[in-house]
């Protein structure tokens, strides 16, 4: 039993070791130019070993998304379930969470997009795909609830909550991607934050129902 367990833990450590290496390499080179050899070197393992833990390159890449989605999910659940917060406060908290997600892994967005490509999906094992779908659904659902609650209380505009949730995510993605592609990130990290800030401010203002004074 103890041995079984230790083995299990050892195995998990290996997975993490690979994931960390993969994150670095994919970050540096992007999916296409990153090679399995690069990742193996970074992880100080042999290429063959990677295939003991991940079915293929796509699935290794996908697993990076799972990690970040898990993190996001925890945050969303906390915020969504916080009874002491009003919808607009929850929205602010969500925005803050998004910042953190981005800091945790700036590749998030690119990962997420890559993941959706039908070619990619073909190469994933069902269980990995299911986990991703499940996590995505939960996250979107959690955010939706905030918008629904806000609409119900007359604080936010009345729109289909899932559509709003998508829009929120799309907005966030857009700014990050745009900034990234303009190579602003490395040179002027603040510019991205500022842009994200402006963006979220606009979003916040845009969905608020103005209280008449």
Distance in Å, CB of 182 to its own copies, minimum: 6
Q: Kindly calculate the radius of gyration of the chain based on its CA atoms and give it in whole angstroms.
A: 19
Residue 157 interacting partner from DNA, its own copies, none (CB closer than 5 to 8 Å by kind): its own copies
Distance in Å, CB of 177 to DNA, minimum: 23
Instruction: Copy the structure tokens of residue 199.
Output: 């963006």
Pick the binder of DNA from 9, 11, 160, 194 (CB under 7 A). 11
For residues 179-198, which are near DNA according to CB under 7 A? none
For residues 118-177, which are near DNA according to CB under 7 A? 123
Report which DSSP code applies to 212. P
- Please report whether residue 33 would count as binding DNA according to CB under 7 A: yes
* CB of 63 closer than 8 Å to CB of 128: yes
Pick the binder of its own copies from 88, 149, 166, 188 (CB under 8 A). 166
The contact mask relative to its own copies for 193-212 (x = CB under 8 A, - = no) is: -xx--xx-xxxxxxx--x-x
- Please report whether residue 177 would count as binding its own copies according to CB under 8 A: yes
Provide the binding-site residues for its own copies, judged by CB under 8 A.
30, 32-33, 112-113, 115-119, 157, 159, 163-164, 166-167, 169-175, 177-179, 181-183, 194-195, 198-199, 201-207, 210, 212-213
């Amino acid at each position: 039993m103890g041995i079984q367990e230790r083995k299990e833990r050892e195995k998990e450590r290996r997975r993490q070791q690979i994931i960390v290496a993969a994150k670095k390499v994919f970050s540096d080179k992007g999916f296409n130019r990153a090679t399995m050899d690069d990742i193996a070197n970074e992880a100080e393992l042999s290429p063959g070993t990677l295939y003991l833990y991940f079915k293929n390159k796509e699935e290794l890449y996908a697993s990076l998304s799972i990690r970040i989605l898990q993190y996001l999910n925890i945050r969303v659940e906390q915020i969504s379930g916080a009874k002491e917060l009003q919808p607009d406060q929850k929205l602010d908290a969500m925005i803050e969470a998004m910042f953190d997600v981005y800091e945790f892994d700036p590749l998030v967005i690119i990962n997420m997009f890559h993941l959706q490509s039908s070619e990619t999906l073909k190469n994933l094992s069902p269980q990995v795909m299911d986990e991703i779908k499940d996590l995505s659904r939960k996250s979107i659902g959690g955010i939706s609830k905030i918008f629904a609650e806000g609409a119900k209380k007359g604080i936010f505009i009345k729109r289909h909550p899932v559509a709003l949730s998508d829009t929120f995510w799309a907005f966030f993605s857009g700014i990050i991607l745009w900034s990234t592609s303009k190579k602003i990130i490395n040179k002027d990290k603040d510019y991205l934050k500022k842009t994200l800030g402006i963006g979220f401010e606009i979003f916040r203002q845009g969905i608020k129902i103005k209280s008449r004074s």
